[in-house]
Amino acid sequence: MKKGTKAREGVVQGRAISRGVAEGEAMVSKDAISFFGGVDPKTGIIIDKGHALEGKCISGKVLIFPRGKGSTVGSYVLLQLAKNNRAPVAIINEEAEPIIAVGAIIARIPMVDKLERNAYSRIKGGMRISVDGTSGTAGIKE
Amino acid sequence: MQLTKEQQLMLNGESGEAARQSMEILCALGKIYGAKDMVPITSAQVAGVSYKTIGEAGLEYLQDFARAGARVRIPTFLNPAGMDREQWEKLRVPAAFAKKQLAILSAFSKMGISSTCTCTPYLVGIRPKLGEHIAWSESSAISFANSVLGARTNREGGPSALAAAVCGCTPNYGLHLDENRVANLLVQVETPLKGMSDFGALGAYVGEASKGKVPAFLGVKSASEDKLKSLGASMAAWGSTAIYFMKGITPEWKVEDGAEEIKFGAKELAQMREKMAGEGKPDIIAIGCPHASLDEIREVAEKVKGKKLGCQLWVCTARKTKEAADKAGFTVAIEAAGGNVVADTCMVVCPLEEMGITHAACNSGKAAKYLTNMFKRKVVYGDVEDIILCK
């Protein structure tokens, strides 16, 4: 990475899934997430036994995970989290599937997927990440 | 994705917030599945209706969505709800559950959706024709529409079917396209199939064996619509089959060159029935999965006439079919024997456990799968005449 172009180079194109803009600290899960039964809608804590993020609170984070899984009711759980102010501020998936995509849209959580230049795997927990779900980009500050 | 001018205006919010959000959902799904454009649809069927399934989260979503001005543009039916709207007290559904269920139905009704709650829209007023595009979401209805009627639908989720109903279109991918309506698993049926439960067993066997492939059946000489409905429901429950072909019976028949071949003979039938069936005295005999046709209700009425049942009996059906059964005297005959004709709901989506039921008998491969999971105990499985007077 050349000096002076760092901020610009940190912006990566992906696909726009759910519109809106947000920024926050990355929380990265290597496992897929089932929101129905896997996340407590009141607290935002992952309750899935044996999950990589078990016991961690996803509220206010930019949540980075490969994809959704489990019941389609998971879409509604994302909405409940948002209503309780316990939702992640943005979502980046490796590759979106309908449960998380629909959930993010109805909960108004900005979401992108399929980031170019292998950016998904470069994101580490604690990095500042911005997501623009309208243009389909993510800003990564390493 | 290529949107028409009207679709683009919807996405921009010119038709209100609910339509905007719906179009955003359809566009996101279109991107995920690689659709080039939207296809207009003639009807929708929305799942995620029972409070048992969608819970508080779903109820709140539907209420918000109705408040945001969501209105459907095309005829739209609902999947079975968690209870019979008229008989819930008599059938001992807990009042707290009933209150939530009625709130869900009221939210749907505000959106202009018919209060018809059924997995058989094609028996009670929405019967799409060959080549018609639709967005349905109950798995057995999807199978019947694609396979028996030759209509075209993907397996929609509750919110995506609702979004399609609000926008009048759905992303054009999957089973909407000719190229995906091709079988790649040939099933040679080499044993006669007698009653409904044999078709359910065939569906269970092929559902498990198909692993996502599209089956095409050879060797079935005739099959009533009721039996095809049972076969498709069972395949969708034991696998996730959304379309099948049957030589000489379904309107479409297209098989890939070099498709894998399997056979279903007397041995496979016996093994599958053995796998599905349990023993013991059931608390309930559950008929009507998918929802019973008038013919099926007649059969039950004839079998129980003048007899006293040893346990509860539910014949689940659409409200309009029940009204026909009421008129024909079938409901009275079933009630006289101690059974019920139940509308709007079914054994799979109503809170049976909360009603003290722990063991069931059924004639449906789909119900056998779900009730066995629910009760952690294999159902008594057979045709109506085998199970109706269970001791």
- Shortest CA gap A100–chain B (Å): 11
Confidence at residue A5, expressed as pLDDT on a 0 to 100 scale: 43
Beta carbons of B32 and A73 less than 8 Å apart: no
Give the ipTM of the model, two decimals please: 0.83
Interface of B with A in 292-351 (CB under 8 A): none
pLDDT over threshold 80, residue A2: no
- Shortest CA gap B267–chain A (Å): 35
Tens digit of each residue's pLDDT (9 = 90 or more) over B3-52: 999 999 999 999 999 999 999 999 999 999 999 999 999 999 999 999 98
Confidence at residue B389, expressed as pLDDT on a 0 to 100 scale: 77
3-class secondary structure, A101: helix
Judge whether A71 and A37 are in contact, CB under 8 Å: yes
CATH numbers and ranges of domains, chain B: 5-178 (3.30.499), 182-273 (no CATH), 278-387 (3.30.499.10)
**CB < 8 Å to B57, chain A:** 41, 73, 76-77, 79-80
Confidence at residue A1, expressed as pLDDT on a 0 to 100 scale: 41
**CB < 8 Å to A76, chain B:** 54-55, 57-58, 60-61
Please provide the average confidence, as pLDDT, over all residues in chain A.
91
Residue of B nearest to A108 (CA): B21
**Closest CB from B31, B54, B65 relative to A73:** B54
Confidence at residue B391, expressed as pLDDT on a 0 to 100 scale: 63
On whether any CB of chain A is under 8 Å from the CB of B208, the answer is no
Catalytic residue set of A: 71
Q: Which fold has domain A7-141?
A: Glucose Oxidase; domain 1 (3.50.30)
Beta carbons of A105 and B56 less than 8 Å apart: no
Please provide the average confidence, as pLDDT, over all residues in chain B.
95
Tens digit of each residue's pLDDT (9 = 90 or more) over B83-131: 999 999 998 899 999 999 999 999 999 999 999 999 999 999 999 999 9
Domain boundaries along the sequence of chain A = 7-141
Tens digit of each residue's pLDDT (9 = 90 or more) over A78-113: 999 999 999 999 999 999 999 999 999 999 999 999
pLDDT along chain B (391 residues), means of 10: 96 96 96 96 95 89 95 97 95 94 98 96 97 96 98 94 98 97 98 97 96 95 97 94 97 97 98 96 96 98 93 96 98 97 93 90 96 93 90 63
**Closest CB from B29, B53, B65 relative to A73:** B53
Q: Does residue A79 come out as left (phi exceeding 0), alpha (psi in the -120 to 50 range) or beta?
A: alpha
**CB < 8 Å to A15, chain B:** 31
